[in-house]
Structure 1
Amino acid sequence: MIRSMTAFAAGERGTPWGVLGCELRSVNHRFLEIGLRLGEDLRALEPVLRERIAARIQRGKLELAMRLRAPEGAATLAVNEALLEQLGALAQRLDARFPRLQVEFAQLLQLPGVLQAPSADGEALQAEALALLDQVLDEFIAAREREGAKLAAAIAERVDAVERIVGQVRGLIPAIREGQRAKLAARLADLPHPVEPGRAEQELVLWLQKLDVDEELDRLGSHIAELRRILGKGEPAGRRLDFLLQEFNREANTLGSKSVDARTSAAAVELKVLIDQIREQVQNIE
């Protein structure tokens, strides 16, 4: 199923060490870019969390926030007795050399490593974090797919409009050719000197060849079929669709440049408008 690149999902999971909370959000981006905001207890899990996300998401700028919230009333800090004893002994030695040096107990507690939070089992915490991430990813992808279905419907509606315009232009071509033939014949008739019939016919053929848009219309028809095929496959297709729309735009520009009739000129403009609208939707697709 086609997926949007914008989505949000969140979840929580109880663990022996507290409540794990996770939020995942994303916006449009050409490639996959993952930003992580992790609590201190979870920083070591960054590589595995990135790997798990990249295995299921292909495009978008994602931001993952995960925190471990200790249960209420639980002891959250413990004193590193061995380190505190070493620091105390060091303070006494320094006091003998620097009598005016004063070290307060509160200052010792502020030194790195003196106060420690109870540490969770690394492997068990990783398993809990990945289980929560999988749960959030399921909701996240489901949200992307719901939004993607809306985008696909909007694109399909505009593709139908493109197809109608292509059919209308194709129906106008015979009358336009006859009109150009009549105009050229009238101009030749107004010349002071007659032109050989064979020469006149040759010039007419060359002129009509320059204005011929059958190939452009055929290619537009092929592009329409390919776009529908891509939408039907349901795979990540944002980049492929973006490239295909460049081809759509090229054919519409050529159609406009070859136009000698107000109706085909208006059709070319309308095609460009529809193609731009489709491109806006495609920018949101994974």
Structure 2
Amino acid sequence: MTLQSMTGFARSDGFHGRYRWAWELRSVNGKGLDLRLRLPAGMEAIEPELRDIASKSLSRGNIQAGLSLSTSETKLEAVVNREALDAVLALKRDLAGAVSEAPLNFDSLLSVRGLVEFREPEESPDVQEARNRSIVEGFGVAISALKAMRQREGASLFEILSGQIDRIEALTSVIEADPSRQPEQIRARLAAQIALIADGCTALDRDRLHTEAVLLATKADLREEVDRLTGHVAAARELLGSGQPVGRKLDFLAQEFNRESNTICSKSNASAVTAAGIELKVVIDQFREQVQNLE
């Protein structure tokens, strides 16, 4: 399965008999699959099948699907309201002698509101079924086109996200290799700080001061954060390469990336590490923003 974006547009149209139909589908980001259908009156029976088709191809996204239906020719039939006609004739009999005895003519009857209605004849069940089948098949075509567009967008996202993961890995290496993290550098810096604090302070317990300094150095060590970032990079690459709907998992990883970068910035005692940590946060924010578009 190819990586998919959640944004896209598709259209399909066709005809069956005297009916012409057209589907328009629009897809945007969503936490789950939310298919919102706009169907002409009388077409509600096909809705379950449409939802089934969509769920087999898509797993996430807010989908707006609209169907327009028109006829290439108009057929009308005259329908007489028999109850209204009987009421008009009964009224004429009741008013005999009070009104003209001339018989009612056709024009007079047509002028009575509601007596005669002109409407399209109802199609037979077989004709309706064939028309609906054509419309459902057209929806399947539109869903396939939408999926193809989302896959093209997904391919672009793959390149972008892969580049950002590479950048996160590179910055992690910069932090790991920074001279300020070498034991000799840490030892020399702590020795200078201890000497500065202890200078002229005879009351200070040098052994206790040394112990506290070691504890502070341990807390400031970035080994765990670097190792976790390295593991997250590997996990992100594996997810991207799976071709499955991994948007939610990558969003979780983005949060983990951000947590480690925050810790690095708070622990940093070197300007180069701080600068790399800040740039790392920027790249992670960009990564997470792109992940929001991924299925």
TM-score, normalized by the shorter chain, greater than 0.5: yes
1:221-240 equivalence runs, <5 A: 221-240=230-249
For residues 119-146 of structure 1, the C-alpha deviation after alignment (integer angstroms, 9 at most, x for no partner) is 2634323321221111111111000000
Deviation larger for 212-221 or 119-128 = 119-128
Equivalent-residue separation in structure 2 for 1:183 and 1:205 (angstroms): 12
Unaligned runs of 5+ in 2: 99-107
Give the Å deviation of 1:87.
Answer: 3.4
The change in CA–CA distance for 1:46 and 1:96 in structure 2 (over 3 A counts) is farther
What does residue 78 of structure 1 align with? 77
1:132 corresponds in structure 2 to 138
1:145 — aligned with what? 151
Q: Distance in 1 between the 2:94 and 2:51 partners?
A: 52
Offset at 1:103?
Answer: 8.8
Q: Does 1:46 align with 2:50?
A: no
> 5+ unaligned residues in a row in structure 1: which ranges?
none
Whole-angstrom CA distance in 2 between matches of 1:110 and 1:59: 51
TM (norm. structure 1) is 0.86
Question: How much has 1:8 moved relative to structure 2?
Answer: 0.6
Match of 1:178 among 174, 184, 196: 184
- The equivalent residue for 2:13 is 12
Once the two structures are superposed, the pairs formed by residues 132-211 of structure 1 within 5 Å of their partners are 132-172=138-178, 175=181, 177-190=183-196, 191=198, 192=200, 193=202, 199=208, 201-211=210-220
**Is the CA contact (8 Å cut-off) linking 2:81 and 2:116 kept in structure 1?**
no
| Partners of 1:177 and 1:208 within 8 A in 2 | no
What is aligned with 1:267?
A: 276
Whole-Å separation in 1 of the counterparts to 2:75 and 2:158:
50
- Alpha-carbon distance in structure 2 between the residues aligned to 1:24 and 1:93: 56
Partner-residue secondary structure (3-state), 2:26: strand
How far is the alpha carbon of 1:285 from its aligned partner? Answer: 0.8
Equivalent pairs: percent with the same residue? 34
Contact 2:25 2:64 in 1 (8 A): yes
Q: Which moved more, 1:182-191 or 1:143-152?
A: 182-191
TM-score when scaled to structure 2? 0.84
- Root mean square deviation of aligned Cα: 2.8
Q: Rg: which structure is higher?
A: 2
CA distance in 2, matches of 1:249, 1:85: 76
Cα displacement string for residues 55-79 of structure 1 (whole angstroms, at most 9, x for unaligned residues):
22111111111122212xx233333
User: Number of paired residues?
Assistant: 279
